[in-house]
Structure 1
Amino acid sequence: MKKFATITLLSATLLFASCDTLNQYSGVINQALGTPSSTEMSLGLKQALEFGTNYSAERLSAKDGYLGNLAVKILFPEEARKVENALRSVGLNSLCDNLITSLNRAAENAAQEAKPIFVNAIKQMSFTDVSNILLGREDAATLYFKRTTSIALAGKFSPIINSSLSKVGATRYWGDVTNTYNRLPLVKPINTDLTAYVTDKAIDGLFLEIAKEELKIRQNLGARSTSLLQKVFAYADQQKK
């Protein structure tokens, strides 16, 4: 009984100490590895960003990368939700489902093309950019990419998505949906630019995934998979205290 009580007390002590201990890990690692040089900071951050953007693009470009991810799944345009409701109310569920599937397939086809655009943005980072991202807010890298790649992504995605929408049948399904709806009495016709809509949503989904990867490496010590990442981000953790 005494032995059990001792073990319980030890476990409780470790439990309550764990939060403080975890908060000190980055400082311990930083002391052990030393303060990174400016070159190491640049290389480390760029390594992390390349890992994160590549992983995000690959994940979304896989089959069901968008369709199977509720956080980024592309649905009917907001102004066309009433169209979906009207069509589903008269039993045209498959028509609506086919359109949603084809919108997401088009986005998946385009996502892989984001990788070289992100690589180029990473290469062009100045040390000021690196420092601001590394020591900045938890979505600083995502905001940097939004600022520097959104136009290039739209230019790259738009023709691919336009072609994909035709290839996977979305253009035809959208025509069927809008034509069917627009023939209903007393409705305001829907004329959404489907390519622009899917392009915007595909890019929004990509940045959402990048933000998740950024947060992971900032908050999860286990995500720092190389000694350089451990050294650089331990230093960043220490500086923010």
Structure 2
Amino acid sequence: LTMGVSSGVDYLSAQDGYYKSVYKILLPTEAQTVVNKLKIIPGFELVEEEIIKRVNKSAELAASKAKPIFVNAIRQLTFKDVWNILTGDKNAATQYLYKTSYDQLYGEFQPVIINSLNQYNALDYWTQAVNKYNTIPFVSKVNPKLENYITEKALEGLFDMVEKKELSIRNDIRERTTDLLRKVFARQDK
């Protein structure tokens, strides 16, 4: 469990961990509408790529907060939890972590994401983009909560990464790099 968590957190919290991976956070649909209109306005041609870069950088910074929360959830495992993970679904460990840590992770991620977005001026940049968009005649005014969307997408990517590592450990004997992993999952292989 700790291996899957460490692997996912380390990968996504590294530079370009989100940005240059399948977990790259793209803009929400309503933001895409704004961006498509803004790209034709001089000075806003690169608005989409700039916002996406800043959004993903904020998610990478937030991801570094996940490991201690996951480790704490792992330390809280009861014998029953361990048994359910071992005998449960192929993603039972990830389900356990989601159930026991999602809310806390959300609470830790969002302030980091907001702070980071502010640090990289992404929220200001987004506000400028939305304000400019809202001056275009005959368009519906837009004001999406970008930080909620980014937090949810960052956590979605993190849990997906943990789940992939869990499946890899369960299905590939070579991924069981410790004696404990080999002993625990040997039972499942029979």
Q: Which interval holds the TM-score relative to the shorter structure?
A: over 0.9
Counterpart AA for 1:82: T
1:202 corresponds, among 154, 168, 171, to: 154
Shift of 1:178: 0.8
Match of 1:93, SS state, is coil
Matching residue of 1:193: 145
The yes-or-no answer on 1:98 pairing with 2:46 is: no
1:74 corresponds, among 4, 11, 25, to: 25
**Whose helix proportion is higher, 1 or 2?**
1
1:228 corresponds, among 160, 176, 180, to: 180
Work out the percentage of aligned pairs sharing the same amino acid.
44
Match of 2:15, SS state, is coil
Q: Deviations over 1:60-85 (max 9, x none)?
A: 0111000001x211111122221122
Counterpart AA for 1:93: E
After TM superposition, where is structure 1 displaced by more than 6 Å over at least 4 residues in a row? none
The yes-or-no answer on 1:129 pairing with 2:115 is: no
Measure, in 1, the Cα distance between the counterparts of 2:25 and 2:135: 25
Shift of 1:196: 1.5
Measure, in 2, the Cα distance between the counterparts of 1:94 and 1:62: 24
Shift of 1:119: 0.5
Measure, in 2, the Cα distance between the counterparts of 1:99 and 1:192: 14
Q: Do the aligned partners of residues 174 and 116 (structure 1) sit closer, same or farther apart at CA in structure 2, a change above 3 Å counting?
A: same
Superposition pairs of residues 146-225 of structure 1, within 5 angstroms: 146-225=98-177
Match of 2:25, SS state, is coil
Q: Deviations over 1:203-226 (max 9, x none)?
A: 111101101111110111110001
The yes-or-no answer on 1:83 pairing with 2:34 is: yes
Contact 1:96–1:177 (CA<8 Å) still a contact in 2?
A: no
Contact 1:66–1:74 (CA<8 Å) still a contact in 2?
A: yes
Counterpart AA for 2:28: P
Shift of 1:54: 1.1
Shift of 1:52: 0.9
Shift of 1:90: 4.8
Match of 2:143, SS state, is coil
Measure, in 1, the Cα distance between the counterparts of 2:28 and 2:130: 12
TM-score, normalised to structure 2, is 0.94
Measure, in 2, the Cα distance between the counterparts of 1:219 and 1:180: 51
RMSD: 1.3
Moved more, 80-89 or 221-230: 80-89
Moved more, 172-181 or 216-225: 172-181
Counterpart AA for 1:95: V
Measure, in 1, the Cα distance between the counterparts of 2:129 and 2:59: 19
2:97 corresponds, among 141, 145, 158, to: 145
2:72 corresponds, among 120, 131, 150, to: 120
Moved more, 73-82 or 156-165: 73-82
The yes-or-no answer on 1:50 pairing with 2:2 is: yes
Measure, in 1, the Cα distance between the counterparts of 2:90 and 2:129: 41
Shift of 1:230: 1.0
**Higher Rg of the two aligned structures:** 1
Contact 2:35–2:47 (CA<8 Å) still a contact in 1?
A: no
